[in-house]
Structure 1
Amino acid sequence: MATLTYNIVEHDGGWAYKVGGTFSETFSTHAEALRAAQIASSEQQVAGATDGIQYEDAQGKWHQELADGRDRPQTEISDDAKD
C-alpha cells in the first residue's frame, strides 16, 4: 500500500502543504496550512466506488483499468516548520 506524505512548507509568501511535487494553495499562516493538510489527509483515506479509469503513461500509451475504490493510500503529515 502506498503512503502519501503531506509536507508543511513555506511557499509563495505564506504556507502550503506539498504532496510529491504538487503544492496546495498558499495559506496565510502555518496553522491554516497544517489544518488543510489534516483535512486533505483524512479525506484521502475515504473509500470510494470501484470504477473504470483511463490514464496515459509517461510514454504516451493509454491504459484502462478497474480501480478498486477501497484501495486507499496511507497518509502522514510531516511538519518540521514553525510559524
Structure 2
Amino acid sequence: MSLIHYKIVQHDGGWAYKLGDVFSEPYRSHAAAMAAARRVAAEQRVPGETRYIQYQSEDGVWHTELAASTDRPQADVLE
C-alpha cells in the first residue's frame, strides 16, 4: 500500500492543498483548505470497483493492468 501526503500551502492569494506538484483550487483560509484536504484524503481510502485500467508511462508506453478495488493508498494531511 502506498502512502501519499497532502500539504497545506499558500497559493494564488489564499490557501490550497497540494499533492506532489499539483495544487487544489484556492481556499480563503488555512482551516478551509485543511478541511478540504482531510475530506479528499478520506475519499482516497474508499474502495472502488475492481477493473482494468490503462495508463501511459513517462517513456510513452501504454500499460493495461487490473486495479483491485481494495488497492487504496494511505493518505494524510501535513500542515
Do they superpose with TM above 0.5? Answer: yes
Structure 2 gap ranges (5+): none
Structure 1 match to 2:15: 15
- State the percentage of identical aligned residues: 49
The one-letter amino acid of 1:49's match is E
Structure 1 match to 2:49: 49
Q: Does 1:61 align with 2:44?
A: no
Q: Secondary structure at the match of 1:54?
A: strand
Q: How far is the alpha carbon of 1:69 from its aligned partner?
A: 1.2
Q: In the aligned structure 1, how far is the partner of 2:41 from the partner of 2:31? A: 15
Q: In the aligned structure 1, how far is the partner of 2:41 from the partner of 2:30? A: 16
1:29-55, CA deviations, whole angstroms, 9 ceiling, x for partnerless residues? 111100000100000100000000001
* Alignment RMSD: 0.6
Q: TM-score, normalised by structure 2?
A: 0.97
Structure 2 match to 1:28: 28
Q: In the aligned structure 2, how far is the partner of 1:47 from the partner of 1:6? A: 19
Q: In the aligned structure 2, how far is the partner of 1:28 from the partner of 1:20? A: 21
Dislocated runs of 4+, deviation >6 Å: none
Q: How far is the alpha carbon of 1:76 from its aligned partner?
A: 1.1
Q: How far is the alpha carbon of 1:67 from its aligned partner?
A: 0.5
